[in-house]
């Protein structure tokens, strides 16, 4: 399942503009170089303020997709099993 999600994410990244990808690389570099909890927190907030669209797409959008797909598949599986049990 994880490999499939990675493949989907890879395809999605292919559609991102080069500017978006470059901005994301710089954002991650700045966050990775931050030291300590407060430094990391300030770096994350600073990147959000400086590049809100890229931040939302990469952190919020990717997380939502990576969490909702397995949740939706689980819900479909549960509904199918429940319907099968009720048919008995």
Q: 24-62 pLDDT, tens per residue?
A: 889 999 999 999 999 999 999 999 999 988 888 887 777
Does the pLDDT value for residue 68 go beyond 60?
yes
Question: Which has more pLDDT, 13 or 74?
Answer: 74
Q: What angle do CA 35, 26, 14 make, to 5 degrees?
A: 135
Q: Two tokens at 28? A: 């991650």
Would you list the domain boundaries of the chain? 2-86
Q: Two tokens at 80? A: 């199918």
Does the pLDDT value for residue 84 go beyond 70?
yes
* Cβ proximity of 70 and 1 under 8 Å: yes
What is the predicted pLDDT for the residue at 81? 80
What is the predicted pLDDT for the residue at 29? 93
Instruction: Map residue 79 onto helix, strand or coil.
Output: helix
Q: Two tokens at 21? A: 């990808």
* Cβ proximity of 5 and 25 under 8 Å: no
pTM: 0.55
């Amino acid at each position: 399942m994880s490999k499939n999600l990675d493949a989907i994410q890879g395809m999605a990244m292919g559609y991102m503009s080069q500017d978006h990808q470059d901005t994301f690389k710089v954002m991650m570099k700045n966050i990775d170089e931050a030291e300590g909890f407060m430094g990391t927190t300030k770096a994350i907030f600073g990147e959000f303020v400086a590049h809100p669209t890229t931040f939302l797409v990469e952190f919020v959008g990717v997380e939502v997709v990576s969490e909702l797909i397995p949740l939706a598949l689980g819900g479909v599986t549960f509904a199918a099993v429940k319907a099968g049990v009720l048919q008995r």
